[in-house]
Amino acid sequence: MTLWSWVLLGSVVAWAIKFCGYLVPVRWMESPRMTRVAGTLTIGLLASLTTMNAVSTGQGVVLDARLGALAVAALALLLRLPFLVVVLAGAAAAALLRLL
């Protein structure tokens, strides 16, 4: 198969998986159990994505300015600062740590 065949096949599979979501009965999605599962799954995926982006490069673990920026952003979130301030504090921390 050519590259474009794989791209088209992947697109069709992605569309089919998304379409299957519309076939799930509404009452299943509105149950308290599903709400808890969806909320917990979202938090877990976001935490793992953030961690992997903060401490990995390629296939190795690297401790650099990104980890310090993550710590500063977490502190800003604990202080309940506005989201824009959290992002700016993390960016400033990364810049200062890379300068050092």
pLDDT tens-place string over residues 26-47:
888 888 998 899 889 998 898 8
pLDDT tens-place string over residues 61-85:
888 888 899 999 999 999 999 999 9
DSSP string of 23-43, one letter each residue: TS-HHHHTSHHHHHHHHHHHH
Residue 7's alpha-carbon distances to 12, 20, 77, 80, in angstroms, are: 9, 20, 40, 43
DSSP 8-state code for residue 17: H
Mean pLDDT of 6-34: 92
pTM of the model: 0.58
Mean pLDDT of 82-93: 95
Q: Which of 93, 56, 55 is nearest to 74 (CA)?
A: 93
